[in-house]
Amino acid sequence: MSQKKTVGLLLLVAVANCSFSQNLPVDKKATTQTIHLYQNLKRLSGKGFLFGHQDDLAYGVGWKYIPEKSDIKDVTGDYPAIYGWELGRIELDHPMNLDSVPFDAMKKFIGEGYARGGIITISWHLNNPLTGKTAWDPAPGTVASILPGGEKHDLYKTWLDRIAAFILSLKGKNGELIPVIFRPFHELNGNWFWWGGKNCTSEEIKKLYRFTETYLRDEKNVHNLLYAFNTDRFASKQIYLERYPGDEWVDIIGFDIYQGNNILRNEDFMKEFDRTLTDLEEIATEKNKIPALTEFGFVGLPDSLWWTKVFLKTLQPHHIAYVLGWRNAGYTTPGHADFYVPYKGQASAKDFVDFYNADNTIFQKDIAKEKIYE
């Protein structure tokens, strides 16, 4: 073979290898099902967006732990495509999480969602390891205390051991590990959590993200995770990336946004939502990552046409993989609504059916046809 042909062949192989590696998750030992989930999330973001709901199978407005029940199913006749769950308190070896969902029940619900072809995503509002208080105790110095060499580093590793044990216990009917989208240290640009904002430096949270992933992957042999990095609302691409740990540590990038407080008006929300989605998509393209709306909501859903006239209308020109509506805790105190998707009879339920029937919304029946783990 001529030298010219040899060089040409080597270039083709190099390009092919590069293309192949760009379509794999950051964990090079990821399970087959996890790789397929990653690849199909990328593919589906061009067809529409998957709709998810936090704690969907566990409880809703006016009910708890009724088999096969779901507020979304009651309204649409279908389940969400993505099921969100929370591991806060597992680090303390408690039997239930901070929202009072027993971990044994959660494991069962995760298995049910996966068996339907749905996707699992898990967040972790871990307690403050330095003070012993909740995740919302923003004590400075906490992140530094659990990094290698810190006074609480060994404690943090025991917490990760419990996370690993739970993740590795999630198995399908054939004994395969269930893939999970794991998003630790979410909303890390805000000041309300001990891992966020002014409570630590950008370099400290980057080191913590990298250590957490390295420990789970290399020490505990957890290979059924996709890693999601997400902020709260952000003002620019530069600000978004200030605490980004690096391309080799992240599969999915996202942000959380809620309508209310200082963006109560629909027009204001839509303007900020659209701008932030645009920035996220540009970052995802530049870094070859999967873009997602990792949390959203409008508490109490007072606008009966919000789903089609505000939320869907803003999302229409964008291409993101999924959106996750926050949980339906119901009325936590008399007159205080704490729900983010409609329940049967709620003011926006009819509009949500129109949202469900839109061409680019993907729920459980749609995702099951895609066979995303194959």
Catalytic residues: 187, 295
Q: How far apart are CA 150 and CA 132, in angstroms?
A: 16
Closest CA relative to residue 297, chosen from 329, 324, 335, 265: 324
Q: How far apart are CA 268 and CA 184, in angstroms?
A: 29
Quick check: 182 and 215 in contact, CB under 8 A?
A: no
Say if residue 193 is exposed, middle or buried (CB neighbours under 10 Å; 0-12, 13-18, 19+).
buried
- Sequence-separated (6 or more) residues with CB below 8 Å from residue 46: 319
Please tell me the number of Cα atoms within 13 Å of 176 on its side-chain side.
16
Closest CA relative to residue 299, chosen from 255, 274, 335: 335
Quick check: 260 and 189 in contact, CB under 8 A?
A: no
Dihedral of CA 293/294/298/301: which sign?
A: positive
DSSP 8-state code for residue 248 = G
How many CB atoms within 10 Å of residue 57? 27
Dihedral of CA 212/214/216/217: which sign?
A: positive
Quick check: 126 and 88 in contact, CB under 8 A?
A: yes
DSSP 8-state code for residue 199 = G
Q: How far apart are CA 374 and CA 356, in angstroms?
A: 25
Closest CA relative to residue 352, chosen from 73, 15, 12: 73
Quick check: 215 and 237 in contact, CB under 8 A?
A: no
- Sequence-separated (6 or more) residues with CB below 8 Å from residue 239: 189
